[in-house]
Structure 1
Amino acid sequence: MFEFAPDIPRWRQVADVIRQRIADGTYPPRSRVPSVVQLTEEFGIANATAHKVLQALRTEGLTYTEPGLGSFVAQQK
């Protein structure tokens, strides 16, 4: 189970992990990032927290969502 720092919001810590995985190529461009269900299982977070993670990554332009298919890594400029 992931160890959370007590003074940083959980959604931010999980987003940092996913961001790092994108940067190091674990999730290459156009590959699927974990779903809400997968994030809740891997990190032990609530659905709302997982949604916030995906929203933050999408807002940063790191991911995009295909309705009905999931979230994917965006091509980096």
Structure 2
Amino acid sequence: MIRQRIKDGTYPPRTRVPSVLQLQEEFGIAGMTAHKVHRALRAEGLIYTEPGLGSYVSKDPA
């Protein structure tokens, strides 16, 4: 779902994506699953994380 929102422009480049806690609340998933979502999106180059600030859509999401 987050991947699709990035690709369709719902989350434009350099905008913040939902935090792990927000993913848990919105989708009713476990914390570990939400962490896996962030990790997978980072591995794909779709998001980057600024420590202490949050995760953002990459400038040029693939």
Does the TM-score normalized on the shorter chain lie above 0.5?
yes
Identity %: 74
The yes-or-no answer on 1:48 pairing with 2:29 is no
The yes-or-no answer on 1:35 pairing with 2:26 is no
Post-superposition CA distance 1:49-76 (Å, at most 9, x none):
0000000000000000000001000011
Larger-gyration structure (1/2): 1
1:19 equivalent in structure 2: 3
TM-score normalised by length of structure 2: 0.94
Aligned length: 61
Q: Which runs of 4+ in 1 moved over 6 A?
A: none
Counterpart Cα distance in 2 of 1:32 and 1:57: 13
Looking at both structures, which has the greater relative contact order when contacts are Cα pairs under 8 Å and sequence separation is at least 6? 2
Specify every segment of 5 or more residues in structure 2 that has no aligned partner in the other structure, as ranges. none
Give the residue type in structure 2 aligned to 1:63: I
Counterpart Cα distance in 2 of 1:26 and 1:53: 17
Specify every segment of 5 or more residues in structure 1 that has no aligned partner in the other structure, as ranges. 1-16
**Root mean square deviation, CA, Å:** 0.9
